[in-house]
Amino acid sequence: MSRQPAKGRAKTAAAKAPARKTATSKTAAAQETAPAKVRPATEPLLSVADIHTYYGDSHVLQGISFDVHPGECVALLGRNGAGKTTTLRSIVGLTPARRGQIRLGGSDIVRWPTHRTIRHGIGYVPEDRGIFSSLTVAEHLDVALWAGKQSASRRDEVLKIFPRISERMEHYGQQLSGGEQQMLSIARALLTDPRLLILDEPSEGLAPIIVEEVRDTLARVKKAGTSILLVEQNVAMALALADSVVVLSQGRVQFTGTPAELEKQPEIKETYLGIA
Amino acid sequence: MTFFLFNLLNGLQLSMLIFLMAIGLTVIFGLMDILNLAHGAFYMIGAYFGYVVFQATGSFWISLAIAPLLPLVLGFLLQYFVLQPLIDRGRSAHLDMALLTFGLLFFVIGLIDFIFFETLGLTFMSIDKPAGLDSYINIGTFYPSYRLFIIAVGFAVALLVWVVLERTVIGAVVRAGVDDREMVRAMGVNVYFVFAAVFALGCGLAGLAGVVAGAELSIDINMGVQILIPTLVVVVLGGLGSVKGCFYGAMIVGMTETLSQAYVPALALFATYMLLAAMLVFRPQGFFGRAPKTV
């Protein structure tokens, strides 16, 4: 697979994808000329370029492209079945892309096994939270520390962000509430000291007050300098956190821009997100 | 009373021997979902290699220390270079694995038969018991000290495996893998290596059981198949991936086989299978089996 020059990689994701006569190309073209849409001058931490992913013969992702820059929060939005979760799974290698390029910190990771990708600087919080029923909270953290080759001091740092977790260390995963499980899942992902935190629907199934807690926690994580790639059905929460938004539909990028730009595109919100 | 005590200890001894076999099989099945019918082959390899080492050194203890290493290394290579690539290519159904590993069991039987019987002319062999364990102890009846040694080894291994699985990070990784392999990968753990290491340890324990059994029972070509059946029954009774279940399952099978032979010989042939059938009807997940996966 040929490598793109650095200058080319720094362009907007939509510009990397093949031109399509869809809202994507129109919106992306509009973004190219708008001063507010200029991306940070830094090299992207994560660069997803024209990836194609299949489930059997089903062509699920059909040329997804976007970037996540250091310290940035990017929200992947879209209706059910748009390809959001598959995009995340392709990035971490759980459902590998058959074509395209995924670069993390300058390395092409598209063919890497999942554990290698994760060790290269990703923390992954899956849709179902991935809490092990037979492990205590302390054991969840121990496994994450061991996998990430981190010292116990890292645990102390992370637990400062999650005081409720530190009170439940001897409880088993199945004994935690939904909010506590989500906090544990995020804490576990942060223990490896990732450069990029990937979260799939962190607010799903949580009470509104817990959703606020999750949002505030992610805001603190972002403020600390960790990049975030967020898949979220709760658009309000996603837009409150995101610096950049990517809207997917039927495995394609339909919009790339800032939350403010999305607000100015009611047809995108209505067509692809189902909100007025 | 003396007769009962004698049979109780015999049952305990058989239980521990079966436990040594079944613990590896249940963790392999629970963690990797691989029905490894070649487990009996690793038991045989341990016994035969133990015999070879014993013939070369004259020491039971050296044989006990070295012989399990061969099935351990072979188990690692089998999982890492044969089974895992097949699983990656989508050949991970229980039938695929059962056919492959059952074929491997008979390949090993054939190979051992060729080497030891066809070439060397050896049929029934055994490893000499070490000094101090080749006599009898008076516990109200004269009981072979080596059988007490087998019981002690079984308890020691059970305790060691329990400590490793329940009290160490590696054990937590293995338990997490039983719950949800994909999530363990997504935490940055090289599950291929963990799987191969667990598979290897399971095979090493089977080899250890082979050496231990080689000094009490005869080492012969049928030993791998003979031990495999009660081992599978233990795994089903105890529940997949459960050390506690494996221990209790082994106790039930060992005691049932021994006590039925002693007290109700007419039942001895099928008492264990009645237990198996009842378990499959009323509690198919086993005593300590549970619905795995994450919450």
- Say how many domains are in chain B: 1
B253 in a structural domain: no
Question: For each successive 10 residues of chain A (276 residues), what is the average pLDDT?
Answer: 35 41 40 44 90 95 96 95 96 96 95 95 95 94 93 90 90 92 94 95 90 92 95 92 96 95 90 83
CA angle A47, A52, A58 (to 5 degrees): 150
DSSP for residue B124: S
CA distances from B43 to A140, A172, B206, B224 (A): 35, 36, 5, 6
Q: Is residue A90 a contact partner of residue A245, using CB atoms and an 8 Å limit?
A: no
Strand, helix or coil for residue B126: coil
CA B32 to chain centre: 16
Are B190 and A118 a contacting pair at CB < 8 A?
Answer: no
Are B295 and A173 a contacting pair at CB < 8 A?
Answer: yes
pLDDT digits (tens, 9 = 90+) for A72-120: 999 999 999 999 999 999 999 999 999 999 999 989 999 999 999 999 9
Question: Which residues are paired to A257 by β-bridges?
Answer: A245
Q: Domain limits at B54?
A: 24-224
Compute the nearest-CA separation of B180 from chain A (Å): 7
Q: Identify from A133, A142, A172 which residue to disrupt to test chain B contact, counting B C-beta atoms within 10 A and taking the largest count.
A: A133
CA distance B232 to B106: 17
CA angle A133, A157, B174 (to 5 degrees): 30
User: What's residue A49's pLDDT?
Assistant: 97
| Structure token digits, residue B173 | 């990784």
B32 in a structural domain: yes
B241 in a structural domain: no
CA distance B151 to B153: 6
B210 in a structural domain: yes
B235 in a structural domain: no
CA distance A140 to B251: 32
B175 in a structural domain: yes
B245 in a structural domain: no
Residue B204 CB neighbours (<10 A)? 23
Chain A with chain B: Cβ pairs closer than 8 A: 80
User: What's residue B288's pLDDT?
Assistant: 82
B229 in a structural domain: no
CA distance B63 to B66: 5
Q: Would you list which residues of chain A are within 8 Å, Cβ to Cβ, of chain B? A: 92, 94, 113-115, 118-119, 124, 126, 128-135, 139, 142-144, 146-148, 173-174, 181, 188, 192
Are A94 and B185 a contacting pair at CB < 8 A?
Answer: yes
User: What's residue A27's pLDDT?
Assistant: 45
Strand, helix or coil for residue B135: coil
Are B185 and A131 a contacting pair at CB < 8 A?
Answer: no
User: What's residue A25's pLDDT?
Assistant: 39
Q: Global pTM?
A: 0.81
pLDDT digits (tens, 9 = 90+) for B151-177: 999 999 999 988 998 899 999 998 898
Per-residue pLDDT of chain B (295 residues; tens, 9 = 90+): 688 888 999 999 999 999 999 998 888 887 677 888 999 999 999 999 999 999 999 999 999 999 999 999 999 999 999 988 888 787 767 788 889 999 999 999 999 999 999 999 988 899 999 999 989 998 878 899 999 999 999 999 999 988 998 899 999 998 898 788 899 999 999 988 998 999 999 999 999 999 999 999 989 999 999 888 889 999 889 887 778 889 999 999 999 999 999 999 888 888 888 988 998 999 888 888 765 455 5
User: What's residue B120's pLDDT?
Assistant: 92
Compute the nearest-CA separation of B223 from chain A (Å): 36
